Structure 1
């Protein structure tokens, strides 16, 4: 967990951040270090700082490296917001030059929590309600159970669709309207098929449309 503090008064802003970082080495193995830099000087011309939390990398490049590289050629700014927008554009340009494999990795990282949450919540609801399905035996019972499972999954897809519609657009996806390339679309479709391999095409299509549109 990252702890960051910003204190503002009439004459200055004070920034502070902890130095702990947790690195995962497998599904259950984690190690914490107390030597991470999370606060950086953005400009040599202006007293502007950048604090980082969460992932310390951007497109698999350490953010510290990107900040220092940007700082070497950073111009002078009249407003802090102008500096922030310029740095985000710099990250966007860097991101567009990343290899396709790295872009695909980050796309999957972005959609994985939403997909896993939908499936997990649907499975929990399924287990809670399955005991209320009348057991008539044979194929009729199995069909009722399968229909119930798929209907609950559709419910969770609609819940997540509503949640995604309220998430603000990212600020550093580049100029103009954002769109997925065909490679990105194929990556999303393939990942959804893997996660929901035990569902029908209607479910996979609903999940795909939620992220591709």
Structure 2
């Protein structure tokens, strides 16, 4: 007996200004992003586990474009890796971010100018604790693209790392945008589901998360 097909996942507003759009990236764009992430991970400032001020290491691996992020600042060179200049943010990726904001909010987003991207790679054991994105000088929306294995994305409130929060399952190709009243909401990834990603996008396992931001510090784009 055939199993029933899964119900389509619906677009929804998780909180004011926070929108989840399932299956936003088609397979072709997912493959393009996987190939590009593989190139970016090689450098000039390579992908690394970020060292935290307290002496620990983040379990996710990160590479940056446009501006290099390290706790808790942006710099033009990878000051905590090899001090190499950061690769520029490609125009096509910034354009993708504008389209993401426009689609999430159902309005033109010509004024959205992301100037940095953080690419995070999660293996099966990687996690991201609850945190705020607040090192930017402007409060423009955050664009988050998921590729590969599914995860639990925990989206909280702007006051505390604890409850109330909403757990959202993000699948490969999903878009999540948060801005406005939710721009400084705490969020994290408590778990990744191994071997749940599609087999035809060029990633053998793990989850890629491409996060686009506007820093307010100036732009460098290729």
Flag whether TM exceeds 0.5 (same fold): no
Structure with more relative contact order (C-alpha pairs < 8 Å, separation 6 or more)? 2
TM-score band w.r.t. shorter chain: under 0.3
Q: TM-score, normalised by structure 2?
A: 0.21
Structure with greater proportional helix content? 1
Q: Specify the structure having the higher radius of gyration (Cα).
A: 1
